[in-house]
Amino acid sequence: MASSQRNRVTNAIHSLIAHLVPAVPGDDEQTAQARHDDSFELVRSILESHGSPAVSSDVNHAADLIKRKLIQSNPSQALRFANLYTRLLSLPVLNQKWAILSLLYQLSDSPDPNEPPPLSPPKPPPQRPVPPPTEKDRRTKTQATQPVPEPSPEEDTVRDAFSPTGLKKLPSERPAKRSQPEEQPPSRVTTDEAPKKPARDVSIKSTLLADNSNDFEPSEMALLRDLPYTLQGLSSATMPFSKETALKLPSTLPSPIVSLLHTLAEPSLLYRGLAAFVKSPAKGLLGQSLRAAINNEIRSYLTLVATLEAQIRRTLSSIDESAPRGGIGKAGVTLKRCVVWTREATMGLRLMSLIAEESKTKHGGQLISLIHSFSTSHGDPVVAAFAERLLADVTRPFYDILRRWIYDGELSDPHLEFFVREQTHGADDRKDSKAKGHASVWNSKYEVVDAMVPSIMTADFAQKVFLIGKSLNFIRHSCGDSGWVDAYSKTSSKPLSYGDTATLEKWIDEAYKTTMRRLMYLMNHRFHLFDHLQALKNYILLGQGDFIALLMESLAANLDRPAFAQYRHTLTAQLEHAIRGSNAQYDSDEVLRRLDARMLQLSHGDIGWDCFTLEYKIDAPVDVVVTEWGNRQYLKVFNFLWRVKRVEFALSSTWRKCMTGARGVLQTGDEHVLQLWKSTRGVLAEMVHFVGQLQYYILFEVIESSWTELQKAIRRDDCTLDDLITAHTKYLTAITHKGLLGARRRQFHDQLKEAAAQQQNAAGDANTPASASTSATIEDRNSYMVQLSELLHIMLAFRDCVDGLYSWSVADFTRRQEADAAGLVMRPSKKPKLSSTQRQKPFSGGAADLDDPFISSSTSADGANYGHLNSELPALQERLKQLGAAFKSRLQVLLGDLAYQPDVDMRFLGVSMNFNDVYQPVKRKKHASASGTGGGGAGSGSGSGSGAGAGTQQQQQLGQGQGQPVVGGGSFSR
Q: Is 798's pLDDT higher than 80? A: yes
Q: CB atoms < 10 A from the CB of 343, how many?
A: 12
Lowest-confidence region among 71-85, 171-185, 411-425, 599-613: 171-185
pLDDT, tens only, 889-913: 988 888 888 888 888 888 888 888 8
Q: Is 779's pLDDT higher than 90? A: no
Q: Does some domain include residue 818?
A: no
Q: What is the pLDDT of residue 194?
A: 41
Q: What is the pLDDT of residue 131?
A: 45
Q: Does some domain include residue 606?
A: yes
Q: Does some domain include residue 767?
A: no
Q: Mark which of 569, 593, 626 sits at the end of a domain.
A: 626
Q: Does some domain include residue 802?
A: no
In a shared domain, residues 248 and 351: yes
Lowest-confidence region among 160-169, 450-459, 606-615, 722-731: 160-169
Distance (Å) of CA 74 to CA 67, 78, 290, 534, 804: 10, 7, 48, 83, 121
More confident residue, 380 or 882: 882
Average pLDDT of the residues in 832-848: 39
In a shared domain, residues 277 and 319: yes
- The Cα–Cα gap between 72 and 84 comes to 19
Lowest-confidence region among 495-499, 858-862, 925-929: 858-862
Q: What is the pLDDT of residue 110?
A: 62
pLDDT over 90 for what percent of the chain?
25
Q: Is 850's pLDDT higher than 60? A: no
Distance (Å) of CA 940 to CA 70, 932, 968: 109, 10, 9
Q: What is the pLDDT of residue 764?
A: 45
In a shared domain, residues 475 and 584: no
Average pLDDT of the residues in 529-546: 92
Q: Is 187's pLDDT higher than 60? A: no
Q: What is the pLDDT of residue 206?
A: 52
In a shared domain, residues 335 and 423: no
Residue of 555, 563, 471, 559 whose CA lies nearest to 508? 471
In a shared domain, residues 103 and 233: no
* DSSP assignment string, 611-668: HEEEEE---TTGGGTS-HHHHHHHHHHHHHHHHHHHHHHHHHHHHHHHHHHTTTTT--
In a shared domain, residues 297 and 349: yes
In a shared domain, residues 168 and 34: yes
In a shared domain, residues 77 and 170: yes
- The Cα–Cα gap between 865 and 842 comes to 10
In a shared domain, residues 163 and 261: no
Average pLDDT of the residues in 259-273: 91
- The Cα–Cα gap between 188 and 198 comes to 12
More confident residue, 626 or 819: 626
781, 736 contact by CB (below 8 A): no
Residue of 337, 277, 278 whose CA lies nearest to 307? 337
pLDDT, tens only, 330-352: 667 888 889 999 998 999 999 99
- The Cα–Cα gap between 753 and 760 comes to 11
Q: Which residues contact 14 (CB under 8 A, 6 or more apart)?
A: 36, 40
948, 933 contact by CB (below 8 A): yes
Q: What is the pLDDT of residue 515?
A: 92
Would you call 912 helix, strand, or coil by DSSP? helix
Q: Does some domain include residue 824?
A: no
Q: What is the pLDDT of residue 767?
A: 44
Q: What is the pLDDT of residue 967?
A: 35
Residue 58: pLDDT band (50, 70, 90) is confident
Q: Which residues contact 838 (CB under 8 A, 6 or more apart)?
A: 832, 870
Average pLDDT of the residues in 591-612: 85
Q: What is the pLDDT of residue 732?
A: 93
Q: Does some domain include residue 83?
A: yes
Q: Mark which of 447, 481, 499 sits at the end of a domain.
A: 499
Q: Does some domain include residue 193?
A: no
Residue 357: pLDDT band (50, 70, 90) is very high
Q: Is 355's pLDDT higher than 60? A: yes
Q: Is 781's pLDDT higher than 60? A: no
Q: Is 780's pLDDT higher than 80? A: no
In a shared domain, residues 266 and 347: yes
Would you call 420 helix, strand, or coil by DSSP? strand
Q: Which domain holds residue 223?
A: 204-359
Lowest-confidence region among 51-55, 455-459, 814-818: 51-55
Q: What is the pLDDT of residue 475?
A: 92
Q: Mark which of 483, 499, 515 sits at the end of a domain.
A: 499
Q: Is 630's pLDDT higher than 60? A: yes
How far from the centroid of its chain's Cα atoms is residue 362's Cα? Answer: 21
Q: Does some domain include residue 666?
A: no
End-to-end, the C-alpha distance of the chain in Å comes to 106
Average pLDDT, the chain: 75
How far from the centroid of its chain's Cα atoms is residue 14's Cα? Answer: 66
257, 220 contact by CB (below 8 A): yes
- The Cα–Cα gap between 43 and 37 comes to 10
Of the ranges 153-157, 246-250, 427-431, 821-825, which is most confident? 246-250
Average pLDDT of the residues in 174-178: 39
Q: What is the pLDDT of residue 353?
A: 92
More confident residue, 846 or 626: 626
In a shared domain, residues 226 and 351: yes
Whether the CA torsion 762, 768, 769, 775 is positive or negative: it is: positive
> How many structural domains is the chain composed of?
4
In a shared domain, residues 25 and 171: yes
Q: Is 401's pLDDT higher than 90? A: yes
Q: What is the pLDDT of residue 144?
A: 38
